[in-house]
Amino acid sequence: MVGLAALFVVADPAPADGTFAATAAATSDYVLRGISQTYGGAALQLGASYQHPLGWFVGAWGSNVDPYPAVKPSRELDLYAGYARAFGADFTGRVAYTHYSYLADPRPTHYDYDELALTATYVDRLSLTISYQPDSTAYSLRGFAKDKPTYALELTGRWPLPREFALTGGAGYYDLHRLFGISYWAGSAGIAWVHRRFEIDLARYFASAGVAELYEDASADGRLVLSGLVRF
């Protein structure tokens, strides 16, 4: 999945004057936590970040979204900040706060929300993230809920292969009981090719029946998504 997580990857220690980074991406479907944010449509995504040598970082990421195809599309803008620290040669810990906002949103209710996430990473190959959203607002086939807490537990991995390829995958558990009295599982498995600043990803997504129960056609279960990304 091309998304905000791409900007949260902890790289090698930053030089003394800090590190600026930017990404530009295109994807055949913007999938987040088992749900298509574009109802199967394509998305263009831009991001930028700065990491200080002492460990703190800030950034922004944006994408077009179409959460309800019957209304006008809008744009998602995510602003984040946090702190990352290495523990020995193999482990990195990170805490990040993100504010998700929707610009020019035609829906009568504001769906902006906040998230606090804790991540532990092992040699850039395996990451475990626990996140908490204190003020989620959502509409589903089960009705409308506003400013309710939700929780997520996600495990992602990346295994290098010869000739600049890598296997990618991940799975997550999403607790929406305070919103709709339900929880669900979702994840993906795919392959990536990385050459210098360029990356191409092909991934197949899956999601438990709970996603279709909530969002019907927006469920990403069984979808094949092709994405391309360039880093600056």
Tell me the pLDDT tens digit for each residue of 209-225: 999 999 998 999 999 99
Going by the DSSP 8-state scheme, the letter that residue 105 receives in this structure is -
Distances (CA, A) of 125 to 156, 157, 226: 8, 5, 21
φ, ψ for residue 14 (rounded to 5)?
Answer: -75, 150
Q: Cα separation of 135 and 145, whole Å?
A: 10
pLDDT per residue as tens digits for the range 12-51: 444 557 899 999 999 999 999 999 999 999 999 999 999 9
CATH topology of domain 5-231: Porin (2.40.160)
The model's pTM is: 0.90
Position 57 pLDDT exceeds 80: yes
DSSP SS3 for 34: coil
- Confidence band for 1, pLDDT divided at 50, 70 and 90: very low
- Token digits of residue 8: 């949260």
pLDDT per residue as tens digits for the range 166-189: 999 999 999 999 999 999 999 999
pLDDT per residue as tens digits for the range 68-114: 766 778 899 999 999 999 999 999 999 999 999 999 888 788 899 99
Q: For the chain, how many residues are written?
A: 232
156 and 127 Cβ atoms separated by less than 8 Å: yes
| Mean pLDDT over the full length of the chain | 91
